[in-house]
Amino acid sequence: MSDEDVPIDDEDVSESDEAVDSSSQRKPLSDRKNAPWFRVVALMLAAFGIWLFLDSTTLEHNAQVSPVGTRRTVALSILRPIAATSRFLQVSRIESAANGLLGRNTTVSGGSTLVIVSPPKRTVPATTLPKGVTTTTLNPLTHPSSATPLRVLILGDSLGLDLGGSLQNVLANTGVVTATLDGKESTGLTRPDYFNWPAELSNGLAASHPQVVVSMMGSNDPQDFPGPPDIPYGTPQWNQIYEQKATEFMQLATSTGATLIWVSIPPMQDPELNARIATVNTLQHQAAVKVKNVIYVSSGTTLGNQQGNFTPFLSVNGQNINVRTPDGIHITPDGSTLLSDAVLQTMKTQMGIFLP
């Protein structure tokens, strides 16, 4: 049979025709529709704008506590009107609700806390009194009771809150102390534009009428004073202004007759930060020496090693105790307990306060 007489399978012809039709219908890559680049960019900008608007209050806070300079100034000039609009429209509620659904912690760094703890109602063991002394002649300051509790105001930044939470509980558990804790993270004496501690102290004095004020702050203070003009940290002028501000704050704390116990910032793990904190502590101590009714307590003797340097662990009663958090800055609950005990001993030994 010749080639011309070879039969052709109908199925082969059909499949061949379909392949040709399919290939002819397939569009080249150049003819496919893609999203225009400007549409992609627009969507990205819209997503960024929504995120910026929803998170503007947090971003504004981060800018407020950042070091003074051009970058901070520009950031605040952009974020302030956006954050103000967000607060006016109460957009933060949407953000908080979303974070709650996602199981996120919605506490923003820089949040404040004000907690007042009164002594629990319980029977306090009777104190043995010297011969000839009656309860009516006891000084309510040195011999507080459940009827006339000692009033203590505790102030501080995030480290002050580490100490304050523990100290407040210890004092309240004596049954004869009303302790008020007023703290705000990321604050100090160098940035009244972000948080005005003298104004906060004035309000606290008027509200709680404390007989004892305990203050621990300064970890955020090694930074420029905002101007104009800015006063750079590390200059003689900065040291002079900071000591003056610390002096004025201590004078205000004792202006209503209260005794101020000023607790220094503990040593830091980072050498550069530790050197800066040492400068702040020195200036605070110099201020404390000049103001009447101020007792300066060095936390380095309680939370530092034998040389007064940073250590994450301390040996207490034969046990190795973790006293500092992994960031090398803050204080663990066990460390806070040790520091609270030091403050309590100061109240007993240097102020003569009898506590159960």
Peptide bond into 228 cis (omega under 30): yes
Mark which of 101, 129, 151 sits at the end of a domain: 101
Taking the C-alpha atoms of residue 246 and residue 283, their distance in angstroms, rounded to an integer, is 8
Q: Do residues 189 and 159 touch, judged by C-beta distance below 8 A? A: no
19-to-15, 121, 124, 225 alpha-carbon distances in Å: 6, 92, 98, 78
**46 and 185 part of one domain:** no
Residue 189 in domain: yes
- Both ends of the chain: CA-CA distance in Å? 122
With 0-12 CB in 10 A as exposed, 13-18 as middle and 19+ as buried, what is 230? middle
**216 and 334 part of one domain:** yes
Residue 22 in domain: no
Structure tokens belonging to residue 342: 């030091």
Question: What dihedral angle (degrees, nearest 10) is formed by the CA atoms of 298, 304, 309, 310?
Answer: -120
Q: What secondary structure letter does DSSP report for 107?
A: P
Res 78: pLDDT: 85
Q: Do residues 150 and 353 touch, judged by C-beta distance below 8 A? A: yes
**345 and 258 part of one domain:** yes
Residue 293 in domain: yes
Residue 10 in domain: no
Place of tokens 């012809």: 13
Residue type, 321: I
With 0-12 CB in 10 A as exposed, 13-18 as middle and 19+ as buried, what is 134? exposed
**77 and 165 part of one domain:** no
Residues 6+ apart with CB under 8 A from 203: none
Q: How many domains does the chain have?
A: 2
Please give the model's pTM, rounded to 2 decimal places.
Answer: 0.71
Res 99: pLDDT: 52
Residue 23 in domain: no
Per-position b or e across 314-344, b if 16+ CB within 10 A of its CB: beeeeeeeebbeeeebbbbebbbbbbbebbb
CATH of the domain at 319: 3.40.50.1110
Res 136: pLDDT: 47
With 0-12 CB in 10 A as exposed, 13-18 as middle and 19+ as buried, what is 173? middle
Residue 5 in domain: no
Segments in the chain below pLDDT 70: 1-35, 56-58, 60-70, 72-73, 76, 83-84, 86-114, 117-138
Residue type, 251: Q
Res 104: pLDDT: 44
Res 81: pLDDT: 82
Residue 272 in domain: yes
**184 and 81 part of one domain:** no
Q: Do residues 199 and 262 touch, judged by C-beta distance below 8 A? A: no
The Cβ-side half-sphere exposure at 324, using a 13 Å CA radius, reads 23
Mark which of 46, 71, 101 sits at the end of a domain: 101
Res 13: pLDDT: 45
**78 and 180 part of one domain:** no
Res 51: pLDDT: 74
**163 and 258 part of one domain:** yes
With 0-12 CB in 10 A as exposed, 13-18 as middle and 19+ as buried, what is 308? middle
Res 109: pLDDT: 37
Mark which of 78, 101, 124 sits at the end of a domain: 101
φ, ψ of residue 154 to 5 degrees: the values are -110, 125
**189 and 55 part of one domain:** no
Residue type, 88: F
**167 and 276 part of one domain:** yes
Q: pLDDT, tens digit, for every residue of 256-299?
A: 999 999 999 999 999 999 999 999 999 999 999 999 999 999 99
**80 and 147 part of one domain:** no
Residues in the chain: 356
Residue 26 in domain: no
Domain that holds residue 73: 35-101
Taking the C-alpha atoms of residue 185 and residue 267, their distance in angstroms, rounded to an integer, is 18
With 0-12 CB in 10 A as exposed, 13-18 as middle and 19+ as buried, what is 90? exposed
**73 and 145 part of one domain:** no
**40 and 128 part of one domain:** no
